Each structure stands twice: as C-alpha cells, then as structure tokens.
Amino acid sequence: MTEIAPVEQRRAGRPRSEDADRAIIEATLDLLADYGIAGTTIEGIAARAGVGKTTIYRRWKGLESLICDAVAELKGPLPALPGTSIRDDMLVLFEAAARSRESARNRKVYACFIGEMTRYPALDAQYRESVIKPRRALTQTALQRAVERGELRDDLDLDVMAEIVTAPTLHWMLHNPDRSPTREQLEQFLDGVLHGVAKR
C-alpha cells in the first residue's frame, strides 16, 4: 500500500470543484426526476452527489437557486439563431428543446415542474425569471425580426403569436413523455401554424 491512492480511487472520493458542481447539478436533476420538487432536499442532493452540504451552500444561495440552475443546465445554452427565416430559427429552437428532453430523466424533470409549481410560488417566480424569460425573449426576437422582414403577419400580438407558434411542439412533448418528436413532426407543427389549417 502506498500513501498516494491511484487516480480512480481518488476520483471515487470527494470530487473537486468543477466535478463537484457537475455532480451537484446531476444529483439535483436525478432527485427531481425520481421524487419531484417535494422530494428534493439539500441533504438528499449532498448525499447523492457525494459532497458536504457546505459545498452546496458555498455555491448556491439555497435550494431554489440550485433547482433553477439545474433546470437551466438541462435546457443548455441559448442557441444561436441563423436569422435566415422564421422557419429556420424556430426549427433550431424546437430541436434544442427536443434535445434537452431526449432522456427519460429530463422529461420527468420538465413534467414535475408543471405539476408542482403551483405549490412553490417563490421557486415558480425565480424559474420564470431566470429560465423562462430569456428563452421567451429569444423567441420573441425571432418573431419580431420575421415581422419586420415581412414574413409574418404584423396584426398579431407577439405574445399570442409566440404561444401559437411554440405550443403544438411543447404541448406534444409534454403529453408524450415516452418518446422524442421526429424532425418531420416538428416541421408539420411549424408549417401548420405558419400557413394555417383552414383551406384557402
């Protein structure tokens, strides 16, 4: 036996800074998927991540901030929009949304948020502000630019338009937690809302 443990053995102990952050985020998402918001605690996250509670409190103000960061991580960075057409822009956004739901775990996290948010108003407010708002703003920017290019109608409220354009994809994903949408489905939903389902 030597005093210097092999790398694998050291790794199995307390993870270091970046590894610890990653482990904490993953543990948070795992617990949300398995037990919902109600069953996710700092104690549980610390135990699952293999870190002390103080490590968590050094990085995050509390459970709400940590949960918001974990879900933001799950969503990934805001994608860069090509800006070539509203169809191109929206397909990039939809594919990013679909990618972040590729694993069953991640789909469960999204579902638990919808289900439990009404019981956690402070978390709900923080989530809407830090996670939803920047993403909604990106969609609105894409729509606004398309209105200015003359691609989209200029007589619709942007909030209403954003809801119409994104809802079929988001709603379908929420109600089909066992599979991912195909590229063809994303295109069908998008073309349907762009051109309408009424006969011309």
**Is residue 123 involved in binding its own copies (CB under 8 A)?**
no
**8 Å CB contact between 132 and 69:** no
**Is residue 188 involved in binding its own copies (CB under 8 A)?**
yes
Cβ atoms < 10 Å from Cβ of 118: 8
CB of 122 to its own copies, least distance (A): 14
The residue within the footprint of its own copies, chosen from 3, 8, 18, 154 (CB under 8 A), is 154
Nearest to 110 by CA among 55, 37, 45: 37
Q: Which stretch binds its own copies (CB under 8 A): 19-27, 50-58, 94-102, 185-193?
A: 185-193
Query: Which three-class secondary structure state does DSSP give residue 131?
Result: helix
- Burial class of 170 by CB neighbour count within 10 A (0 to 12, 13 to 18, 19+): middle
The residue within the footprint of its own copies, chosen from 62, 76, 115, 134 (CB under 8 A), is 115
**8 Å CB contact between 124 and 117:** yes
CB closer to its own copies out of 17 and 180: 180
- In sequence order, what are the residues at sequence separation of 6 or more whose Cβ sits closer than 8 angstroms to the Cβ of residue 5? none
**Is residue 195 involved in binding its own copies (CB under 8 A)?**
yes
CB closer to its own copies out of 24 and 165: 165
Residue 44 to residue 31: CA distance in whole angstroms: 8
| Binding mask of the shown chain, residues 66 to 105, with x at each position contacting its own copies by CB under 8 A | --------------------x-----------------x-
CB of 150 to its own copies, least distance (A): 6
**Helices (H), ranges, 13-103:** 17-35, 42-49, 53-59, 63-75, 86-99
The residue within the footprint of its own copies, chosen from 22, 58, 171, 183 (CB under 8 A), is 171
Reading the block at residue 97, the tokens are 């949304």
Among positions 29-58, residues that touch its own copies (CB under 8 A) are 36, 38
Binding-site ranges for its own copies (CB under 8 A): 36, 38, 86, 104, 107-108, 111-119, 150-154, 156-157, 160-161, 163-168, 170-172, 174-175, 177, 185, 188-189, 192-199
